[in-house]
Amino acid sequence: MLNHHTVQAELLSGFEFLMPETQAMQLDDFANPGMVSVEEGRVLFATTGSNGKACADCHGEQGSKLNPKRIAKYPVYSESLKAVVTLQGQINICWDDKLENPPAIYDSRTSIALETMVRHLARGEVVNVDISGPMQKHYEAGRELYNMRFGQLDMACVQCHDQFRGKYLRAQKLNQGHSNGFPEYRLGSGHITSFQRRIAECFVSFRAEPFEFGSEELINLEVYVHARGNGLKIETPAVRY
The 8-class DSSP code of residue 238 comes to P
Q: Which of helix, strand or coil describes residue 184?
A: strand
Judge whether 194 and 177 are in contact, CB under 8 Å: no
What are the backbone dihedrals phi and psi of residue 74, each rounded to the nearest 5 degrees, phi first? Answer: -70, 145
What single-letter amino acid sits at 78? S
User: Active-site residues: which are they?
Assistant: 202
Sign of CA dihedral 43, 198, 215, 81: negative
Contacts within 8 Å (CB) and 24+ apart, 193-202: 193/112, 194/88, 194/107, 194/111, 194/112, 194/115, 195/222, 195/225, 195/226, 196/88, 196/106, 196/107, 196/222, 197/107, 197/112, 202/157
* CA gap 98, 84 in Å, rounded: 19
| Amino acid sitting at position 192 | I
